[in-house]
Amino acid sequence: MKFQGVKIAGTGSYVPEKVLTNEDLSEIVDTSDEWIFTRTGIKERHIAADDQFTSDLSSEAAKEALENAGIKAEDLQLIIVATLSPDKTFPNTASLVQNKIGAPNAACFSMEAGCTGFVYGLEVGAGMIASGLYKNALIIGAEKLSSVVDWTDRTTCVLFGDGAGAAILTATDVENNKYLGSDLGSNGEQHDILHIPGGGCAVPFSQEAKDQKLLTLQMNGKEVFKHAVNGMSVSAKKALDQSGLSIDEIDWVVAHQANVRIINAVGQKVGVPTEKVYINVDRFGNTSAASVPIAFNEMRQKGLLKRGQKILFVAFGGGLTWGASVVEY
């Protein structure tokens, strides 16, 4: 084995066509655009069609990322899909994506680290490439959260949306490594402040579980808010330390798009000016594992990213989990 460096060679994303605005939501539950926007910064989110699944959203994002990286699906040796809303509990969604995009040479698995999934996925993919055993890896964060949200619960259903984002990681010489630092963490003691209680072996699917609303997402919003601000700011600082860079040397912060108030609070704690923090939660809501790669790809599409810039990814989610990574684009 010969250790290798890692770089992001391409990115892609996809959101379903249907847009659900705050006004639309106010016809479903007792809420208002004013309440949602002032507390979260969200105006609208995209919702997948009934026959459009996480693997479909993933595959569209993957195709764009492959094209952007200039490599063929056959050249992939690894596909990771981070998701909490897989097509099926088994088999894994990455294998379904492999089939849809035609990547027969890839090892495939899915992983679940809540909204931190993509940042965890980057770390796993980067580590596997660094081992010298893989050259091209496709890392996807994708969700059909509309399928796991309780559409009668106004405290949660207004927050989430569907979509997918992807990045191609490729091997480079060790001297040209662009994966500069990272930090991952978890606090399982708080596993039940943001979770879907049923559907696994602890509370298997049943009509009773469904009636008791155990098969949809439940959250203690206030607690999650506090943990998110703390978890993301501490993790961002640790990843920066690891990279040897100061926050002033970072060109862009791409944070998990859960809530604009959380993102701003993290920005303040980490000491980054607001113009360096990308925000698109207003148009997509919280797309969980998809939010960081959707934002990053949107920045590329808008021409905001230049090779050589230093990027700080930071995310937080159920588990609890958190993580940050510093890369040179």
| 103 and 95 Cβ atoms separated by less than 8 Å | no
Question: Quick one: 10 or 319, whose CB is closer to ligand COA?
Answer: 319
Quote the least distance from Cβ 227 to ligand COA, whole Å.
9
Q: How far is the CB of 285 from ligand COA (least distance, A)?
A: 10
| # residues contacting ligand COA (CB under 6 A) | 22
Q: Which of 285, 213, 234 is nearest to 39 (CA)?
A: 285
Minimum distance, C-beta of residue 154 to ligand COA, in the bound complex (Å): 4
User: Which residue lies nearer to ligand COA by CB, 198 or 317?
Assistant: 317
Give CA–CA dist 264/276, Å, rounded. 11
- Report which residue's Cβ sits closest to ligand COA: 221
Helix/strand/coil for 154: helix
Which amino acid appears at position 48 of this protein? A
SS3 percent helix, strand, coil of the chain, rounded to 5, is 40, 25, 35
Judged by beta carbon, residue 2 or residue 222, the one nearer ligand COA is 222
Pick from 53, 120, 313, 316: which binds ligand COA (CB under 6 A)? 316
Rule CB under 6 A: which of 285-304 touch ligand COA?
Answer: 286
Q: Could you write out the DSSP letters of every residue in 88-115?
A: SSSS-HHHHHHHHHT-TT-EEEEE-BTB
From first CA to last CA, the distance across the chain in angstroms is 26
Catalytic residue positions, numbered: 115, 256, 286
Query: Computed over its alpha carbons, how large is the radius of gyration of the chain?
Result: 19
Residue from the set 24, 35, 213, 247 that interacts with ligand COA by CB under 6 A: 35
Binding mask 95-124 for ligand COA (x = CB under 6 A): --------------------x---------
39 sits near ligand COA (criterion: CB under 6 A): yes
Beta strands per DSSP E along the chain: 5-14, 18-21, 44-47, 78-82, 107-111, 136-144, 162-172, 179-186, 194-195, 218-219, 252-255, 310-317, 321-328
Binding status of residue 22 toward ligand COA by CB under 6 A: no
Nearest approach, Cβ of residue 318 and ligand COA (Å): 7
Report in angstroms how near the CB of residue 228 gets to ligand COA at its nearest: 5
- Between 22 and 58, name the residue whose CB sits nearer to ligand COA: 22
Report the residue from 18, 135, 154, 269 that binds ligand COA according to the rule CB under 6 A: 154
DSSP state of 87: S
Query: Least distance in Å: CB of 60 to ligand COA?
Result: 23
Cα separation, 96 vs 90, in Å, equals 10
**Could you tell me which residues come within 8 angstroms of residue 176 by beta carbon, excluding any fewer than 6 positions away?**
5, 7
Longest dimension (CA), the chain: 59
Based on CB atoms, which residue is closest to ligand COA, 66 or 228?
Answer: 228
Q: Is 317 a residue that touches ligand COA (CB under 6 A)?
A: yes
Q: Rule CB under 6 A: is residue 40 a binding residue for ligand COA?
A: yes
Judging by DSSP bridges, how do beta strands 136-144 and 78-82 pair with one another?
Answer: parallel
Q: Can you give the binding site for ligand COA, defined by CB under 6 A?
A: 31, 35-36, 39-40, 115, 154-155, 158-159, 219, 221-222, 224-225, 228, 258-259, 262, 286, 316-317
